Structures are given as C-alpha cells and as structure tokens.
Amino acid sequence: MRARMAFGLALALALVAAGGARAAALESAWGTAPDAPAAFAAAPVAPGCEARLASWPIAPPSLSARVSGNGTPRSGPGPLNAERARVMLQSLTVPGWGQMTTGHHGAATVFYLLDAAIWTSFISFEIQSSMRMESSIRTAQLYAGIDLDGRSDDYRRIVGAYPSSDEYNRLVVYRDAANLYYNDPAQYRAYIAQHEITGSNAWSWVSPESYARYTDQRQSSQKAGLRANSALALALANRIVSAIHAAGASGHMTTGGRSLRLEWTPDFSQDPPGMRIGLRTSY
C-alpha cells in the first residue's frame, strides 16, 4: 500500500511539472500563458492514491499568426502587399527571379532551367521553320520555274495545291467565271482576264515528286511554326506559375545566403524628375 501511495504521489508531481513546462512553452510561443486555477498548485491527494489535477481550456493562437517548428512566431501568407507584388513582378519578368529574392534558391534554379529550355526550344523551332520555308522556295524555283520570295502565303499555298497555273485557271478561275457570269459573255471574259494567272506568275511542276516535295517542306515549316507558338505558351505558363509560387514563398523568406533584389527610387535631381533602377545582390 505504501508503495502504491508513493507511486501515485510521484505521478501527480510529474503531471504537475509537465503542466508547468507546457505553460512555459506556450508563454514563449504565444507571448502569454493561460491562468491556472489556484487549486492546481496544491492538489490534494485523496485516499486511494488518486491525484486530482485541475485542467483548463487553452485558447489557440490567432489565425493571423503561426508558430514555426522552433517555437518562434511567424506571420502567415497574408494579403497582397508591396513586397509580394514586387516578387510577383520579378517572376513574371524572369521566372525564378522572385524565388531568388526570397532566398528559395532551389526553386529559382528549377524555374531558370525551365525557362532556358523553353526559349531554347522556341529558337530551335523558329530556325527549323525558317530553313524549311527557304527550302520550299528553292524547290519551287528549281522545279516549278516560279520565284516565291516575297509572295503571300496564300499564293504559296496555291502553288503547292495545283500542278500548274494552267490547271489552276481551268479548275478555279474558269469555273468561278462560269458560275457567276454564265449568261453574260463579256463579264465572263473580263472575270477570267482579271483573275487568271499568267506571265511571270505562272508555274508548272516538272514532276509529281517535286510537287509533293514542295508540299512536304511547307507542311514541315508550318508544323515547326506551331511548335514555336506552343513554346511561347509554355513560357507564359512558366511565368504565371513562378509568380504564384513566388507570392506564396514571400511569406516564408529565408535569411542568409544569396539574394537578388530589384530596387527603384525617385530621382528629383533631374528636370524633369526621373527614376533610379538598380539590382542589389547579397551573398
């Protein structure tokens, strides 16, 4: 019986000590500790070795504050402010710049590499489109006898759609003239004279193979141009994602390490007043 009483008393003292340690931790984390009932300081031990310990409700911290892992308070994301708007503008300009400003160098590196890969792909597709279009122009000049340099895209499409200009005149121009002015011979001939392709604008492919080669080159050029447009869309998406991530990361700025900041201040020494813009980097 005495051993059990000693064990119960030791358990009660341990719980009292734990409650005091918890109150001290809450006081250091939230700034104030909740008040305990006076009976808690000297809780009597009832017969039967059962300790009655007082308890009280603990109010949580306000929603506008959070406690980090080491017990120090830190602010939450919060609304849009000047700092957050600045890092968002930086990331919209260069993805990863806002992350570098807030000290998140790993995320900044990821966005930098993604943007570099996207723009490398865009330049590559643009070069491919231009080279394949130039190849199609040379093919038409060699095998169809027509110089397409400086011509409209519609004209280049017509050259690739018909084996010769005479075939185009017969299937398109004469047919349209007959549909429009079948009962008016004068208007029929005037329409043909106005729309038929002759002289330096005429072409004739030497073989079906050269004709198909020109068509393939134009289609390849157009596909490369579409891929370049897709790369531009990815570049825009990368900036939007980087700006959203930078806005969230601005509430968790890290200390130390390297950072890159865009700063601007008004300059009233000039007439009219100007603006001083510069980059500040810290290591």
pLDDT of 102: 86
- pLDDT at residue 175 tops 50: yes
CA angle 178, 183, 188 (to 5 degrees): 45
* Rounded Cα gap, residues 172 and 185, in angstroms: 17
pLDDT of 69: 41
- pLDDT at residue 235 tops 90: yes
* Rounded Cα gap, residues 271 and 189, in angstroms: 70
* Rounded Cα gap, residues 82 and 76, in angstroms: 16
How far is the first Cα of the chain from the last one, in angstroms, to the nearest whole number?
A: 68
pLDDT of 247: 86
Closest by CA position to 276, among listed 86, 267, 268, 82: 267
- pLDDT at residue 264 tops 70: no
- At 44-59, the pLDDT tens digits run 544 544 444 344 344 4
**Mean pLDDT of all residues in 127-156:** 94
Tokens of 78: 């919060």
Q: Looking at per-residue confidence, does 260 or 244 come out higher?
A: 244
- pLDDT at residue 116 tops 90: yes
Q: Cis (ω within 30 of 0) for the bond into 272? A: yes
At residue 263, φ and ψ (nearest 5 deg) are -125, 145
Tokens of 91: 């990331």
Tokens of 215: 């068509």
Q: Looking at per-residue confidence, does 52 or 268 come out higher?
A: 268
pLDDT band at 78 (very low <50, low <70, confident <90, very high): low
Q: Looking at per-residue confidence, does 50 or 203 come out higher?
A: 203
Work out whether strand 274-282 and strand 50-51 pair parallel, antiparallel, or are unpaired. Answer: unpaired
At residue 93, φ and ψ (nearest 5 deg) are -80, -55
pLDDT of 267: 63
Site of tokens 């990815």: 234
pLDDT of 270: 64
Q: Which long-range contacts (CB under 8 A, 24 or more apart) does 78-82 make?
A: 78/251, 80/247
- pLDDT at residue 101 tops 90: no
Tokens of 159: 């050259």
**Mean pLDDT of all residues in 170-180:** 93
- Helix and strand numbers, DSSP H then E, in the chain: 10, 6
Tokens of 9: 């008393």
* Rounded Cα gap, residues 163 and 203, in angstroms: 8
